[in-house]
Amino acid sequence: MHYKEFPPHPALRAYVACLWASASGGPVPGGRAASHRVLPDNCIDILWQDTGAAAFAVGMMTRAIHVASSQVVRTVAVRFKPGAAGIFLSPPHGPALPLHHLADQRSDLDQLWGRSDADRLADSLWGRELSDVQRLALIERSLLARLQAAAAGGDAAAGMARRGRPSVLEPGALPPAAAPAGALVGAALDVIGRSGGGLRIDTLADGLGVSRQHLAAQFRAKVGLTPKMYARICRFRRATGALAQAQPHAGTTDWARLAQDCGYFDQSHLIHDFQEFSGSAPENFLR
Is residue 260 predicted with pLDDT exceeding 90? yes
pLDDT for 26 equals 72
Tell me the longest C-alpha to C-alpha distance in the chain.
60
What lies within 8 Å, CB to CB, of 218 at 6+ separation is 182, 184, 185
pLDDT for 247 equals 64
Q: Is 207 within 8 Å of 191 (Cβ atoms)?
A: yes
Average pLDDT over the chain reads 88
Same domain (yes/no): 30, 156: yes
Same domain (yes/no): 240, 266: yes
Give the three-class secondary structure for 5: strand
Same domain (yes/no): 14, 54: yes
Domain that holds residue 76: 2-169
Q: Which amino acid is present at 156?
A: A
- Tell me the pLDDT tens digit for each residue of 152-175: 874 444 454 454 444 444 444 444
pLDDT for 82 equals 97
Number of separate domains in the chain: 2
pLDDT for 201 equals 97
- Tell me the pLDDT tens digit for each residue of 23-35: 987 776 776 777 8
Same domain (yes/no): 56, 142: yes
Same domain (yes/no): 139, 212: no
pTM over 0.85: yes
Q: Is 36 left (phi over 0), alpha (psi -120 to 50) or beta?
A: beta
The answer as to whether 177 is a domain residue is no
Domain CATH code at residue 278: 1.10.10.60
Same domain (yes/no): 163, 197: no
Same domain (yes/no): 159, 187: no
Is residue 53 predicted with pLDDT exceeding 50? yes
- The arithmetic mean of pLDDT across residues 172-194, rounded, is 79
The answer as to whether 178 is a domain residue is no
The answer as to whether 275 is a domain residue is yes
Instruction: Give the other-Cβ count within 10 Å of 224's Cβ.
Output: 28
What lies within 8 Å, CB to CB, of 89 at 6+ separation is 44, 57, 97, 99, 102, 112, 113
269-274: list long-range contacts, CB under 8 Å, 24+ apart: 270/239, 273/232, 273/235, 273/236, 273/239, 274/236, 274/239
Same domain (yes/no): 46, 137: yes
Same domain (yes/no): 138, 204: no
Give the three-class secondary structure for 34: strand
The answer as to whether 175 is a domain residue is no
Eight-state DSSP code of residue 61: -
- Tell me the pLDDT tens digit for each residue of 77-101: 999 999 999 999 988 777 889 999 9
The answer as to whether 71 is a domain residue is yes
At 145, the pLDDT band (50, 70, 90 cuts) reads very high
